[in-house]
Every structure is written in C-alpha cells, then in structure tokens.
Amino acid sequence: MSPKIKRSRGLVSVAPHSKYSRKVFFEYSPGETSFQLGYLGSDKSTVEGILRLRYTEDKPIFAKKITISFTGKEFVQFAGTLEEGQDIGEDDESEYNEEEVSTTTISTHTAKRKFFNNDITIWRSQSKGHYEGIKYLDLPFKFNLPDNLPPSVTIDGGCGRIYYVLKAVISRRPIDPNSRKIAKMIKYVIPVVRYTITPHPKPIYWFKKGEGPAKHHVLDHDVSVTRSTFNPGESVVVPIKLTFREPQIYLKKIFVGLKEYHELRTEKYVTLTKGYVTEETIKASTIPISHGPDNEYFVEVKFNVPSERGIIYDVDTAYLSVSHKLKVKVQLGKAPDLHLSNFVKIEKIVSKEEVFPSPPLTINIPQEVITVHEPIVVKSKRESYRRLSPFFPLFNKVQNGDISTKKFPFQQLQVHITDSKNPSMIYNSRSLLIPSSQIKQSQQNKQSKQNRIQHFDQSF
C-alpha cells in the first residue's frame, strides 16, 4: 500500500537565519512586496531587488568585487517509502547538502540538478586587483526569468524540492592572514510562482444511458464538471444524476474527492505517493428521490479546493511530478459500485485584466478659454502728432476758441454770359468755379472801385 501524503507548504519563502547578516542583506525594490515581479508563464517576469551593505566608518569591508547569482535547483531523495526519509531540513544548499544525510540505517536514492543559473558582477574596485574599503553601498540588481521555469515546490517533507537561491558573493580581504576564506556569501531562498491566464472552460462529462428493450446495465448516470482547471481556494460544484433500472438496486452514498499524486524518480528508481486533499460524502438518505417509474436521484455535490498551504500546483520536471485527479464514487446496494475519474489541473489563475491592465482613462477637463487682448499703448505726444501734423492749424484754432468761419479757396459765383452773335441769348451758370487767383483779382478790383467812389464822394 502506498504511503499517504504528508502535507507541507508548497513554497519556500523564508531565508535561513544562519545566512542573515545585519551588515549585508537583500531588500525588495522600493514599493514592492516580493523579489519576483510580473507574471511568470503568462507575461514577462523578473527577480529584482537591492543588495545593501552597511559597515561602520571604523570597520569597513575591503573588497575587490561583488557578484550576485540567481540559481534554480531540483533535488529528490527517497528510501523505500518516503516516510523513512522525511527528516531532511528545508533550507538552502548547505542544509540541503545530500552527503550530510545519514545512510547508515537506510538506503537512499538521490538525484539533483541545476536547471537555471545567471550571475552578474554589480561592483568592482576602482583600482583593478586592489581592495577598496566599503562602508555604505546600495546595489540594485535584476534577473530576467525564462518563461519555462517551474514554480517553487517542496513536497513530502523535503524529499522532493524545486527551489531558487539568490546569492551575493563579496571577494574580500581575509580577516586572518592564515585563513583561506576570502569570500563573504549571503544567500536567500525566494519563492517563484507561475501564473495561468483564466483558461477557456473545458468541461468534463461522464454520461451513460441504456436505450431499447435490452438494457445491459442497471444504472444510468449523468455527471459533469464545467471546468478542468482550478485555482486554490475556489469552490467546485459537481451535478450528479442517477437513474436506477432495476428495483432491487439502491443507492448507499456518493463520494466526490480531489486526489493528489507525487512521483519522485532517479535514473533507476521511481516512487509514488498519493492522497486526497479534499473530499465530500453525501448519504442517500439526504438525497430526494423523484416520483416516477424509475428511481431517479439528482444532487449537486460541492467541495472546496484547499488553499495554497494545503495543495501543490501541478508540475512535471526531470525528477518529480505533481498531478491531480477528480474522483466520483457511487456506492450501490446489490450491485457493483460506480467509479468515475479524470485528471484536472491546479494552477495559479489570474485574469487577463490583471496581467494586461487597461491604460487609465484620460478625462478631458474643459479649460476656460482666456482671450488675451493686446494692451492699449498710449504713444507719446510727439509720435501721435506725426500723423496729425496736417491738421495742427485747425486744432489750434479750435483749442483757442477761434471758431470763425474759414473761407475756402473756391467760391460759387453767378455769371451772365452774352452771345455776341445772338445778343438776346443769355447763358446763366449757378455753379461756375473760378480759380482763386481770379477771385483775388476780382476782389482787389472791387475794393479799388469802392475806394475811388469813396474818394469821389469826399471831394464833393
């Protein structure tokens, strides 16, 4: 009989305390709550943060360079049954050192590999080949994650693990001249999560119905599930319809459960553990029966998928696999039981809107239009007079109160013209214009005539 699954957390998210340092440590990027950013599996994803060095003025660290690496590893170890090898601690490679596990009482099978590694040099001393004192330094880093990376997994008490290590190595000057330790290392085990955009519904149907006079079975069934991919923590409803063809056959109970399978393997050996992570049982006495020629039962069985702490996401790598199967069992009286099953997937589901959020709506706020008027420029008196200079004589008279009538150079005269050939014909012009020179001459002649008449009168 296969051993039952021992539940464990699916993600390793806490750094080993033995690797923690108050002087050198990793921190999230400003405003973030994890090292992994983005949605691995559905969109681009990165691991990024800041390496902080905090040394005092009197005790700096002297270093040549600082490198940061991000590594993904897989490890399995089992012996006969997994229960015999579950005393392995959950920690980084120092605690995951397979050679340190005692094999005096049990025979173990081990496999391990490094499936991803990327490292960068984020700091070098200004003098090549020489040490430089560091007191206070912040070094941001970033690693792009390939789309095919598996999620972090720890199963069966650590017998199967997929984990990721963020490590900083400081090439420093030895504290003790006799010591060979010339590097300071800071390690941090971080969780990596894969995401799946909400898939299209892929229903599961179990259907069987006898037709015609010859019925070779005693039970018709109609069982369905609307989807085959589930998210941890969600509720699933399984409608079940049963029709009994034989009166002596009766229903005892209905069982619906979600079963999890763990497979660990090396180059030569394979072991499997399995167990139910959730299950529901409905007794026949609680299910109403229809009134008709056939005994017909209908019920909707509801079960809850465990949260992330109680279930492992589906994964399939070189040395370990995790899968799930939905099982329906109908226990009958005086007839063989009905067993239905189908593989389903447990994945971290996110909506398309979460992965690709719509850009924020731009709200156009009407702005008040302000008309800019040209300022009224009052020109100086001299500039204004330049245009009005022809009218200055008239303006001066108006300002001085001289409103006497101005005589224009043209005057309307009435002239009688007599035709020499026809003395009786007279030409009369009411608006004959005479040049000013002729008018002036006429006025002078008139004045001279008046003077002569006046002189003549005085002589008498």
Predicted pLDDT of residue 307: 94
Domain count, the chain: 3
Query: Are 338 and 284 within one domain?
Result: yes
Give percent above pLDDT 90 in the chain.
Answer: 55
Query: Are 190 and 209 within one domain?
Result: no
State which H helix or E strand residue 455 sits in.
Answer: helix 436-459
Predicted pLDDT of residue 15: 39
CA distance 446 to 449: 5
Query: Are 247 and 173 within one domain?
Result: no
Query: Are 179 and 272 within one domain?
Result: no
Chain centroid to CA 87: 41
Q: Which domain holds residue 220?
A: 204-355
State which H helix or E strand residue 459 sits in.
Answer: helix 436-459
- Alpha helices in 268-412, H assignment, sequence order: 352-355, 381-388, 392-399
Region of poorest pLDDT, from 99-103, 359-363, 436-440: 99-103
Q: Is residue 255 part of a domain?
A: yes
Q: Is residue 245 part of a domain?
A: yes
Q: Which residue has the tokens 């923590």?
A: 233
Domain boundary among 146, 165, 194: 194
Count of positions (residues) in the chain? 460
68-84 tens-digit pLDDT = 999 999 999 998 654 44
**Cβ atoms within 10 Å, residue 349:** 18
CA distance 20 to 331: 56
* Amino acid residing at 277: V
pLDDT at residue 54 tops 60: yes
Predicted pLDDT of residue 218: 83
pLDDT at residue 5 tops 50: no
Predicted pLDDT of residue 62: 93
Q: Is residue 348 part of a domain?
A: yes
Q: Is residue 170 part of a domain?
A: yes
Domain boundary among 194, 229, 247: 194
174 against 322, higher pLDDT? 322
Q: Is residue 460 part of a domain?
A: no
State which H helix or E strand residue 345 sits in.
Answer: strand 338-346
386-440 tens-digit pLDDT = 555 665 565 555 555 555 555 545 555 555 555 566 666 555 554 444 555 565 6
Predicted pLDDT of residue 195: 97
379 against 70, higher pLDDT? 70
According to DSSP, the β-strands at 338-346 and 229-230 are parallel
Please, is 424 exposed, middle or buried when counting C-beta atoms within 10 Å of its C-beta (0-12, 13-18, 19+)?
A: exposed
Query: Are 110 and 216 within one domain?
Result: no
User: Which residues neighbour 377 within 8 Å (Cβ) at sequence distance 6 or greater?
Assistant: none
Domain boundary among 141, 173, 194: 194
Helix (H, G, I), strand (E, B) or coil at 433: strand
* Amino acid residing at 455: H
User: Which residues neighbour 362 within 8 Å (Cβ) at sequence distance 6 or greater?
Assistant: none
Region of poorest pLDDT, from 5-19, 33-47, 120-134, 429-443: 5-19
CA distance 66 to 23: 14
Q: Is residue 364 part of a domain?
A: no
Predicted pLDDT of residue 453: 62
260-295 tens-digit pLDDT = 999 999 998 999 999 999 999 999 999 988 766 677
pLDDT at residue 138 tops 70: yes
Q: Is residue 233 part of a domain?
A: yes
Q: Which residues in 136-182 belong to E strands, given as ranges? A: 136-144, 153-155, 160-172
Query: Are 172 and 234 within one domain?
Result: no
User: Which residues neighbour 181 within 8 Å (Cβ) at sequence distance 6 or greater?
Assistant: 174, 175
41: CATH: 2.60.40.640
CA distance 59 to 135: 8
Give which of 228, 244, 405 is closest to 338, Cα–Cα: 244
Please, is 379 exposed, middle or buried when counting C-beta atoms within 10 Å of its C-beta (0-12, 13-18, 19+)?
A: exposed
First CA to last CA distance, the chain: 176
Q: What is the largest CA-CA distance in the chain?
A: 180
Query: Are 182 and 225 within one domain?
Result: no
Give which of 418, 420, 416, 441 is closest to 429, Cα–Cα: 416
207-222 mean pLDDT = 70
Predicted pLDDT of residue 25: 94
User: Which residues neighbour 123 within 8 Å (Cβ) at sequence distance 6 or greater?
Assistant: 63, 65, 66, 137, 139
CA 143-192-109 angle, to 5 degrees, is 110
pLDDT at residue 181 tops 80: no
Predicted pLDDT of residue 358: 87
pLDDT at residue 176 tops 80: no
Query: Are 165 and 27 within one domain?
Result: yes
Phi, psi of 178 (to 5 degrees): -90, -5
CB 92 within 8 A of CB 19: yes
CB 140 within 8 A of CB 50: yes
CA distance 311 to 190: 19
pLDDT at residue 102 tops 90: no
